[in-house]
Structure 1
Amino acid sequence: MLFPEAAARGERLTRLSKPAFAIGLLTAALCAHAGIQPDVDTEFPQTNGAPSREVGQSAHQGDARAQFILIRRAAEQGHGAAQNSLGWMYANGRGVDQDDQEAVRWYRKAAEQGYAQAQLNLGFMYDEGRGVGKDDQEALRWYRKAAEQGNAGAQFNLGQMYVSGQGVGKDEREALAWYRKAAQQGDKRAQDALGWMYANGIGADKDDQQAVDWYRKAAEQGDADAQTQLGQMHFDGRGVNKDDREAVMWFRKAAEQRHAEAQFYLGTMYHTGQGVAKDDREAVRWYLQAAEQGEARAQNDLGWMFEEGQGVAKDERAAVQWYRKAAEQGLSLAQDNLAFMYRSGRGVDKDDLQAVMWYRRAAENGHATAQFHLGLMYEQGRGVTRDDRQAAIWYRKAAEQGLAEAVSALAKLGR
């Protein structure tokens, strides 16, 4: 979805971000190891007053300090689940001052008894370097112990280690195998990861239908990243019939969970009227939510909405502010847009030196229109010494990417 604007040579050629409604790199949500804490699914025998329900819930329901005393009593008698729960209370400062070293000590006691959840949690502490020196190989060792006992969280984390090559040689097929074990137990993060592997042909042959199946399983459990990816698959018609309304539905589910990428996509759907009635005010609302979370494409597009007064009162200063936020994150299109604002003196004092700086940053990242604009600055001697040779170099780079204006500019230079 590129929004071109017909313009004379030298005017801005691009406006809004082109949302990459295609599967890209593994998202940050998947790349970060999940520190699964025993506030869920952690039970231990009701012995010596220790509660039989998970610690997190019981601590919410009653006096956390009283719960801590009861759990410590059971832990000191050697109950693995109580030791694990006590570790969680120290790690999270529930009923006691937060103390990662004590958390590690109690997790280790339970882990050495073979308690899988504690093995997972101890692995996480090594993974994060909390209460113990960061040690990827130790993290891997404890994750593996828990994973081999069938702990889905550990299986997922082990898959993460293999896919990133952290603490072990990178092995995408092995990662896929561990993700599958966790996914088959219903772990939604593993289902999402498995969908990503199939969508991108990583660790397995590319298979969009398998990707959709796994994304759907995770999405139906409320996983916001999977909902976003499933929306993308529907938008692109990958592994499923193209259906913009279905894409909007999934983007909305994720957006309402504050998933920034989904908020950006939903804003774009409202702006373009794809799968939903066109509504620039709604587009601005979703762009703003994503932009405030640091989504660079949303920041750029919000800048454009302010510049053009679409869905919001026209405000070129606000446009510059949002372009700058995105540009400083390295978004080439925003760098090109910010350069244009400096070059034209819109929303900011006119400054050709700043314009050239931002055009250059985008051009060096391969942005075709910025390459064209940088060539134009050299041809006109604005912000740089006039240099037709440099102009031709940048025009040629843009022309090689198919930019018609650059082809024409080269011809006019006789190059």
Structure 2
Amino acid sequence: MALLGVLVRRLSPSAALRRGNRLFDQARAADAFALFVRAAKAGSAEARYRVGRCYLEGAGVPPSRVEAMRWLESAAELGCVAAQWLLALQHAHGGCAAPDRLAGALFTDGAVGNPDFAAAEKWARRAAEAGSPDGQAVLGFLLTCGPEQMRNPEEGWLWYKRSADAGCPQGALGYAQSLAQAAQDEKDQRLIVAYLRRAAEAGLPAAICMLGVMTERGTGTSRDEVAAAQLYRTAAEKGHHVAQARWGMALLEGRGVARNPDEAETWLRRAGLAGEPTAAALVAELYSGHGKLPANFAEAAIWLRRAAEAGHRTAGRRLGRLHLSGAGVPRDPDEAAHWLRLSAEAGDRLAQTDLANLVLTGAGGKPEDLVAVRQQFQDAAASGDLMAACNLGVCLAEGIGARRDERQAVAWLRRAARAIPVAQYWYGRMLADGRGVPADAIEGRTWIARAAAIGVVDAQVALAEMMVSGSGGPRDHPAAKALFERAAARGHAGAMYALGALHNGGYAVAADPKAAQRWFLAAAERGHPQAQMLLGWYLARGVAGERDIPMARKWLKQAADQGLPEAARQLAPLS
């Protein structure tokens, strides 16, 4: 070391730089760094650039972004073009990383740190105008992908082309992407592929992935799913998130490669964790019982949330539906509405319908949702959409998002009833109740029966109730019981309560207190207040042979909490 110190002091700045470069190439970075510093302090712009790179890479000295930027800026001010483009790259990405990594990162899909785009453009322009292909590529990137106020796509494309024609892979990729925005025919597509191949051969993952897409589609080149899959795999192994997602999809679907769902899940998971929304949505699909993986709705919900938060249009709808059903997540209409709203605002038509239907139930809606939903239905109904006409009729009948107008409601429901079973049910209800039209229980029962026959569960319950009371036609308690049972099998709490009432006695159905109690319990567990009260009464008196005061108190209290005064009166003696 002492001898080296003597040599360093005796060497001229240019000789110190040359020897430092040789030592660096021999992996003697610490010795090279001392020589670089000697030449840099003597005013060598190139030596200052080399000192800056050493600090940037931690070569022969502990890494330091502050020292790296100080030495690089000093070299750049003295006209060192390599320092200028490297400074531009550092400022564009806002992080301290080695040039070989950052150069390939211009077109990555990863997040950057805290970029300083103004400084990046300043140094990129100096390097570009001095003839640096790398600087020209960085300037092209800033002018096409930088902040809105900085963008000048036409100028950016020109710098990309200069860079590409000088042999810079980043320039070739940037120019290919620019051409893709304006391609008009097969000749343009072939030119894009030619530039992409240059960049892909240099190992740029974004170019490899984009070339894979064009190869898979047969755009500008021969269609070849096998070659495309291998391109995706190569880019995926280099860490490109979109390529990881596409390689995962190829494995999942067996496109150009043997189908392998387990390996597909690994790659899709990796891409999803990195923020690729399509991959996250596909992982959710794998856990939703639609693939070879066991169904796991809790896991599916986690991935749907990732996808929705990253902007996937349909993931919010699927997550909202999970919150509506309570599969894998707590049942929460408000949370369901939140995710459905995100997908609806992104243009997902099914989410718009789901949100509208949720709002119609009175659950999970905001005041502004009510108005927006009614307007959405009105616009669609006016253009001939009969489902929208049905929903608009319901809004007008119930005063949802607009002033109640039963006459207009009947008009829209009558129009929709020609083809929409739910509209037949609602139109029948309006006729039977005389809302917006003279009461006609017979005609109303006819329309409700049509909807019930098609399977509308609310219509089945309404028709059964009319059969019990004899409204609009003959009484038929056994037929009503059959309809209630069909609706109860589909989870309708009101039908369960009605079955309990039928079995309680007083109808043309054999009284069966135990069956009545079972049906009251089923309805009570679904929040039906009258069922809760009657279940409490049964348990308090042992009507079905079972007396249970603590449980009676529980169900009577729940009914009282829902606003039934009679339940509160029955509860008082038991407290």
- Which TM class, normalised by the smaller chain length? 0.5 to 0.7
The Cα of 1:343 is off from its aligned counterpart by 6.8
Larger radius of gyration: 2
User: Is the contact made by 2:377 and 2:391 (CA closer than 8 Å) also made in structure 1?
Assistant: no
Asked if residue 84 in structure 1 is aligned to residue 118 in structure 2, the reply is no
- Larger helix fraction of residues: 2
The reply to whether residue 99 of structure 1 matches residue 152 of structure 2 is yes
Whichever residue aligns with residue 387 of structure 2, its letter is: N
* 1:340 equivalent among 366, 390, 401: 390
Change (3 A) 1:58 1:250: closer
Which AA in structure 1 matches 2:170? Q
Segment of structure 1 superposing worse, 266-275 or 170-179: 170-179
Pair 1:294-2:347 in alignment: yes
Alpha-carbon distance in 1 for matches of 2:257, 2:417: 40
Q: Is structure 2 residue 211 aligned with structure 1 residue 158?
A: yes
- What does 1:217-296 align with in structure 2 at a 5 Å threshold? 217-236=270-289, 238-296=291-349
The answer to whether 1:182 aligns with 2:235 is yes
Distance (Å, rounded) in 2 between the aligned partners of 1:211 and 1:249: 18
Q: Which amino acid aligns with 2:315?
A: A
The alpha-carbon deviation at position 326 of structure 1 amounts to 8.6
Structure 1 gap ranges (5+) = 1-43, 361-368, 377-403, 407-415
Matched with 2:519 is none
Q: Which has the higher contact order (CA 8 A, sep 6+)?
A: 1
Note the alpha carbon deviations across 1:232-267, whole angstroms, 9 max, x for none: 111125242221111111112222333332211111
SS in 1 for 2:84: coil
Preserved CA contact (<8 Å) 2:143 2:150? yes
CA 1:322/1:193 → structure 2, altered by over 3 Å: closer, same or farther?
Answer: farther
Aligned-partner Cα distance in 1 for 2:348–2:380? 8
Shift of residue 184 of structure 1? 1.3
Query: 1:320-374: CA deviations, max 9, x gaps?
Result: 444578999x9xxx95631433677656845879987x899xxxxxxxx86x899
Contact residue 225 and residue 259 of structure 1 kept, 8 A? yes
Give, in whole Å, the separation in 2 of the partners of 1:274 and 1:211: 25
For residues 39-78 of structure 1, give each alpha carbon's deviation from its aligned partner in whole angstroms, at most 9, with x where no partner exists: xxxxx996345152525235965571x5434322222333
Aligned positions, number: 320
Partner residue of 2:86 out of 52, 77, 87: 52
Partners in 2 of 1:248 and 1:191 — Cα distance? Answer: 21
353 and 232 in structure 1: CA distance in 2 versus 1, 3 angstrom threshold: same
Report SS of the residue matched to 1:278. coil
1:372-391 C-alpha deviation (Å, 9 max, x unpaired): 89999xxxxxxxxxxxxxxx
How much does 1:119 deviate?
Answer: 0.9
What residue in structure 1 maps to residue 454 of structure 2? 405
| Structure 1 CA distance for aligned equivalents of residues 194 and 417 of structure 2 | 49
CA distance in 2, matches of 1:325, 1:298: 17
Secondary structure of 1:52's partner?
helix
Q: Tell me the amino acid that sits aligned with residue 391 of structure 2.
A: M
Listed as ranges, the matches of 1:91-170 within 5 Å are 91-92=144-145, 98-129=151-182, 135-170=188-223
Task: Give the corresponding residue for 2:478.
Answer: none
- Distance in 1, matches of 2:332 and 2:309, equals 18
| Shift in CA distance, 58/186, structure 1 to aligned 2, threshold 3 Å | closer
Measure the CA separation in 2 of the matches of 1:147 and 1:325: 50
Gaps of 5+ in 2: 1-71, 96-113, 426-452, 456-575
Q: Displaced runs of 4+ in structure 1, greater than 4 A?
A: 58-63, 92-97, 313-318, 322-328, 342-348, 350-356, 372-376
Further displaced range: 224-233 or 160-169 = 160-169
Alpha-carbon distance change, 313 to 187 in structure 1, aligned in 2, over 3 angstroms:
closer
TM-score, length basis structure 2? 0.49
Question: CA shift at 1:278, angstroms?
Answer: 0.6
Distance 1:201 1:93, change over 3 A: closer
- Corresponding residue number in structure 1 for 2:254: 201
Quote the Cα distance in structure 2 between the aligned partners of 1:341 and 1:87. 52
**Which residue matches 1:28?**
none
The structural deviation recorded for 1:183 is: 0.9
Aligned partners of 2:217 and 2:377: how far apart in 1?
33
* Alpha-carbon displacement from aligned partner over 1:151-197 (angstroms, at most 9, x marks no partner): 11011111111223322343322221211111111111011112222
Q: Normalized against structure 1, the TM-score is what?
A: 0.65
The answer (yes or no) to whether the contact 2:413–2:424 under 8 Å persists in 1 is: no
- RMSD of aligned residue pairs (Cα, Å): 4.0
- Which amino acid is 2:318 matched to? Y
Give the Å deviation of 1:117: 1.5
Q: 1:374 to 1:292 in 2, by over 3 A?
A: closer
1:116–1:327 distance in 2 versus 1, CA, 3 Å: farther
Query: Is residue 85–residue 138 contact of structure 2 (8 Å, CA) maintained in 1?
Result: no
Give distance in 1, aligned partners of 2:417 and 2:174.
Answer: 48
* Counterpart check, 1:306 vs 2:359: yes
Q: After TM superposition, list the pairs within 5 Å mapping 1:4-15 onto structure 2.
A: none
Give me the whole-angstrom Cα distance separating, in 2, the residues matched to 1:325 and 1:289.
Answer: 21
- The answer (yes or no) to whether the contact 1:153–1:187 under 8 Å persists in 2 is yes
Equivalent of 1:215, from 239, 262, 268? 268
Q: 1:216 to 1:63 in 2, by over 3 A?
A: closer
Matched with 1:380 is none
User: 2-side partners of 1:326 and 1:247: how far apart?
Assistant: 33
The superposition leaves residues 197-252 of structure 1 with CA deviations (integer Å, 9 ceiling, x where unpaired) of: 23233333433223212211211222222111101111125242221111111112
Structure 1 window deviating more from structure 2 (278-287 vs 340-349): it is 340-349
Q: Is the contact between residue 145 and residue 151 of structure 2 (CA under 8 Å) also seen in structure 1?
A: yes
Amino acid paired to 1:186: G
Question: How far off its partner does 1:118 sit?
Answer: 1.3
The answer to whether the 8 A contact 1:264-1:290 is kept is yes
Paired AA for residue 218 in structure 2: G
The letter for the 1-side match of 2:454 is E
Cα distance in 1 for residues equivalent to 2:286 and 2:379: 29
